Amino acid sequence: MNVGEGFDILVMAFAASGVAAEWGLGAAQIGVLLSSGLIGMALGSALVAPLGDRIGRRPMTLACLAIATVGMGFSALTTGFASAAVAWALSTATQVPASDTPSTPIRSAAHPRNSTTA
């Protein structure tokens, strides 16, 4: 999933000029499209990732992958700026939680508060 995070951001940067020409978008709208992926990742990390502790890491990872798949499918069907921004944010909102959820126990165990040394 970590590779997918970087790819999503880079692919939009490469496709931005073609998308702008195809849909007649200005620089401000392209900026919003590029930012919507990062906003989705930030909101997903803050709002979705904590659910992994409540519902379990495996179900959370599978749910995130399902939501990301729906978002990517929706982004393939977009025909304009607003739907593309929503689809882009949706498809990236669950990628950070999906990739971070399995590694949470490792980070928790390595936290200084769990150390037995002074």
Count of domains for the chain: 1
Rg (CA), the chain: 17
Pick the closest to residue 4 from 107, 109, 92, 112 (CA basis). Answer: 92
What pTM was computed for the model? Answer: 0.60
Q: Is residue 85 part of a domain?
A: yes
User: Which pLDDT does position 5 carry in this prediction?
Assistant: 57
Q: Is residue 106 part of a domain?
A: no
pLDDT in tens, 56-68: 778 887 888 888 7
Q: Is residue 115 part of a domain?
A: no
**Structure-token match 């689809």, residue found:** 87
Please provide residue 18's backbone torsions phi and psi, each rounded to the nearest 5 degrees: -65, -40
Which tokens in the block code for residue 86? 């929503």
Judged by average pLDDT, the poorest of 17-21, 57-61, 65-69, 97-101 is 97-101
First to last CA, the chain: 36
**Using 50, 70 and 90 to split pLDDT, how confident is the model at 28?**
very high
